[in-house]
Every structure is written in structure tokens, then in C-alpha cells.
Amino acid sequence: MRIILATNNKNKLREISQILSPLGYEVVTQSDAGINIEVDETGVTFAENAYLKAKAIFDLTDNCCVLADDSGLMIDYLNGEPGVYSARYGGTKNDKDHNDLVLKKLSGVPDEKRTARFVCAMCFIKADGEVIAVEGKCEGKIAAEPSGENGFGYDPIFMFGDKSFAEIPADEKNRVSHRANAIKMLLQSLNTN
């Protein structure tokens, strides 16, 4: 089955493809499918933004399956920030700036109050227009400083156990991440429909 991913983010494409390709799914970005639009993420939840992206791309296809995700980091001490604004936190789209801002806001905050989670809402629109929405999470803590060379976004400061997401191998991250958990739920829904 061919799935158009409602993004041009190569990191998301890589992660989702690594999980779905072995199961027989061909995942392509929206630009690979000839769709070059930027969808305004005006939703106030991850689920709303995922739906907006999926629906906008689906409406431009000839009944192709479309998958969109909206994901981000929610930090308890910061009342859920950066949340749906994770990709543009602090008014920038630079990963290092995002991580620096989080670490600055958590400066002096003790380890036990640095709890956080990655959240991934996925919206899948089947060729017949049926919508399936799921949400995956991964619990962790925010590190005192960045570590690791793998991953992207907030991965260097998100601690999963005793390692950051940027320190664990991709295959392990693809088993435990918020995105992996959302995909597992999506596949369960697809298999029961």
C-alpha cells in the first residue's frame, strides 16, 4: 500500500518508513507525490493539527491514503510547553535554539520535577475517506544538558531511562518512541477495520 505522508520532513519520513516499510507499506512525502503546499497548523491540539494536514493533502489527491502526524514535547514543569508549538518554540524553527530555551527555563529545576513526554497524534485517511485518529506517548525527563548525535528536534535533551533519545540506536527508538506507539495503534486500527 502506498501512503502519502503529509510532510516534507525527511526525519519523520525516515522514522515512519523504517517502521512501515518492512510491513509492505511504501511511504512517500507530499512533495514526492507532487503536492507542494504548506498547511497552516491552526489547531490547538496535536490531533487537530494532524487532521488539518491529512485532510488538506487528501483533498489534493485522487483518493490516495494519507498519513499526517503532529508531535511535540510536553514538559510538566512548564505547564505542557512547548506543546503544539514545539516546532516553532520561542519564535524559531532551529532545534538548538529550542533545546537551549527549554534548558534555560528549567535551569535549577530538580531532576524529579523535569518530567516530560513526547506526544504524537496521527491522522490516517484511507482511500475511501475514512479517518482514523490515534495518539502515542513516550514518558521521560528533560536532561540538564544535551547529549548524543542521533535523532533530531528535542531528542538530545529528552531522557528515556539513562540515555537521551539522541543516544539510543534508531531501531530501539523506533520501538519505544511516541511515533512508534502511535503507529502501533494505527496498525491495530487498520487490521480491525
- The pLDDT assigned to 170 comes to 87
Is residue 87 within 8 A of residue 26, CB to CB? The reply is no
Topology adopted by domain 2-192: Maf protein (3.90.950)
User: Cα(63)–Cα(39) distance, rounded to whole angstroms?
Assistant: 19
Per domain, the residue ranges of the chain are 2-192
Q: Which residues of the chain have pLDDT under 70?
A: 193
Q: What crossing angle do the helices spanning 178-192 and 10-20 adopt, rounded to 10°? A: 50
- Record the pTM: 0.92
Is residue 89 within 8 A of residue 148, CB to CB? The reply is no
From the candidates 70, 76, 111, 155, which is the catalytic residue?
70
Long-range contacts of 74-81 (CB under 8 A, 24+ apart): 74/116, 74/117, 74/118, 74/119, 75/102, 75/106, 75/114, 75/115, 75/116, 75/142, 76/113, 76/115, 76/116, 77/106, 77/109, 77/113, 77/114, 77/115, 78/102, 78/105, 78/106, 81/105
Q: 179 is written with which cell numbers? A: 511515533
On the 0-12 / 13-18 / 19+ scale of CB atoms within 10 A, 96 is exposed
**In angstroms, what CA-CA distances link 127 with 59, 131, 132?**
11, 10, 12
Q: If we measure between CA atoms, which residue out of 51, 89, 57 comes closest to residue 70?
A: 51
Is 70 an annotated catalytic residue?
Answer: yes
